[in-house]
Structure 1
Amino acid sequence: MPTDAKLLLLDRDVVAPSLQPDRVLAAVREAFILHSQRAGRVFPLVRTKLHTGGVFGIKSGDVASQDLLGFKAAGFWPGNRGLGGDLHQATIALFDPHTGRPLCIMDGNAVTTARTGAAGGLGTQLLAHPESSRICVFGTGVQARVQLEYALMLLPQRCTVQYVTSGGELAPSFEAAFQGRCAISLARDRNDAVAGSDVVITATTGGGALFDADAVRPGTHLTCVGSDTVGKRELPEGLLQRARIVVDDLNQARSIGECQWAPELPCTEIGDLLAGAASAGRSANDITVFDMTGLALQDLTVARFLYRQAIEKGLGTSVAWPW
């Protein structure tokens, strides 16, 4: 057995600056297409509540043709707010599928943020009308910010943005992050903001319906991020029945996403749209919903380019990991 085996560690300060949006978009697109073509596998999801009040999950999978194997251990710890830390915590591990030896362990928080933002951006690019220029965002946290970043990047029109906070308070730092890129302001009424928008982004903790169903006009696109656990929801009852639904993974969407509330409804996987296996065409009056629960393959394709880049540039910390 070799005694000089190494394990590469990539912390936040290495990972975050390496997440160039164009490379993240390409990796996430590849992940969706691999999933559509069943060239990449998604293993059964682990998602469970802990005695500490946290939620712990494992998303794992592989791409045999690329010798890509790994998992992300992640979850949500609301108690971190009082500690000044991120509520979401994630760690990604890559393995050699021939030997089972670990190759790399990296911070997964920045990866999760970026790959989820890229996924939402791809959905908006595919499903929103090209002339869309009015956006409503529910939430002002990390995920709301990255979803808006990618939407502004990928929509061809200059946009005006209204954001909704849980208590109706201003979020100066959120506004400041987008100054100069769009006209941004706090929504006075959430239903009016939805009714006046072409694109609605929901990026909250999924504690309940965020607006009334009849506020959504024909032609609206909705990107839904917050429902990722049994019992969570952001959309009002009855809206999915009016919408054309696109998901990242059908089984996950129906078990932990918005589609858990209407699992009988037909859905299209976004990978099928990107691979050309299904049509992305929509009429002017179609309401579209992208129900995102997150694929292990997204984490793995992004982690792969980060690992390779770190090797090429000599980044990270290599530690002895003998057999």
Structure 2
Amino acid sequence: MRVITAQEIEGVMNFRDLLETLRRAFRVGAVSPSPHTHQIARPTGYQDGALSISSAWNDFDAQGTTERGFIGTRIESSLPTLDEYEPPTVSGVYLLQSGKTGSPLALLDGKALVTWRTAATSALASSYLSREDSSRLLMVGAGSLAPYLIEAHASVRPIKQVLVWNRSPAAAEELVERMQGHPFDISMTTDLGGAVRGADIVCCATSANTPLIKGEWLQEGTHLDLVGSMHADQRECDDAVISQARLFLDSYDNTPATAGDLKEPLTEGVLSVQDIASDLAELCQGDRAGRRFYEQITLFKSTGTALGDLAVAGHIFLRV
């Protein structure tokens, strides 16, 4: 069995190839039972953590040599920090097995795999939902996922300007400094409302407990990509955003029940299940339309899928 480190994963990845692997995976599908999540009690002052175990598998061919034919299991811990706006510390591993024999093939760095999967999933959704001429990106949050999300969105749209907002301006400035030299202008802002009003794509990766993005700020044609605040008591946008946007999910299976951005509006009657336009599988399969017209506001909410993990793990295994 091979051990594949984060450094090795970084060495073989690019978003253009990974997006096509994910697109095929969402078209074909996989078996993915409900994940198991266990709460981890934390000291006073900290939110409880979580230990999650999720699995997926797909068919293998007669030779067992294609990117199909894998069993994958992700074991991950998520431990929130004291700062409500910063994403939790996430660590874990991913076990990849042969779908033919069950033999262990590789143990992959879980954080690196999830980072690439999350960013690529957002970009894949954006390829269906954002305007093709989107050139201005707002990145809300400056954690470890932010640079990947910026590059992922820039891989599918002609991004020319990136603004970064973070509760800590110093963290935003640090991210801006690290990302100099890319083929887009990048700078930080302290005016979140003004930045939202001027953005074609708004990408959020925070663990905010109260909404950051307000519906009154949205302009026609905006695409929102919400990848943070994955728990039922967390929110990155208010009800006014939900009321205005055409909604899309990474998966019907668990996102509506676990993401506060959807669960609260569903519970309070602001949103109904029928208001959700599609999940990513239906978009990739062509069963549902994405953006319908230029001025439409679209929103993609993701909490992660075992199918996506499996596709990315196989993608890495075949290239390292």
User: Is TM more than 0.5 here?
Assistant: yes
- 2:257 — aligned with what? 255
The answer to whether the 8 A contact 1:140-1:171 is kept is yes
- 1:182-221 matches, within 5 Å, as 182-221=184-223
Deviation at 1:308, TM superposition (A): 2.9
- 1:12-51 matches, within 5 Å, as 12-35=6-29, 40-51=30-41
* Match status 1:291 vs 2:301: yes
Deviation at 1:228, TM superposition (A): 2.1
- 1:55-70 matches, within 5 Å, as 55-65=50-60, 66-70=68-72
- 1:278 — aligned with what? 288
Deviation at 1:290, TM superposition (A): 0.6
The answer to whether the 8 A contact 1:59-1:73 is kept is yes
Report percent identity of matched pairs: 24
Number of residue pairs matched? 295
- Alignment TM-score, normalising by the size of structure 1: 0.84
- 1:146-165 matches, within 5 Å, as 146-156=148-158, 158-165=159-166
Question: What stretches of structure 2 of length at least 5 have no aligned partner?
Answer: 43-47, 61-67, 267-271
The answer to whether the 8 A contact 1:232-1:256 is kept is no
The answer to whether the 8 A contact 1:19-1:111 is kept is no
- 2:167 — aligned with what? 166
* CA deviation vs aligned residue, 1:189-237 (integer Å, no higher than 9, x gap): 1111111111100011232211322111221100000032222211112
- 2:45 — aligned with what? none
The answer to whether the 8 A contact 1:73-1:91 is kept is yes
Deviation at 1:99, TM superposition (A): 4.5
Q: Cα RMSD (Å) of the superposition?
A: 2.2
Q: Cα gap change, 1:95/1:116 in structure 2, threshold over 3 Å: closer, same or farther? A: same
- Alignment TM-score, normalising by the size of structure 2: 0.85
With 256-265 and 204-213 compared, the bigger mean Cα shift is at 256-265
Q: Distance in 2 between the 1:137 and 1:46 partners?
A: 31
Deviation at 1:102, TM superposition (A): 2.5
Q: Rg: which structure is higher?
A: 1
With 71-80 and 274-283 compared, the bigger mean Cα shift is at 71-80
Q: Distance in 1 between the 2:318 and 2:133 partners?
A: 38
Q: In structure 1, give the amino acid aligned to 2:21.
A: A
* CA deviation vs aligned residue, 1:120-169 (integer Å, no higher than 9, x gap): 1111221111121121111011212111111112113x421221111344
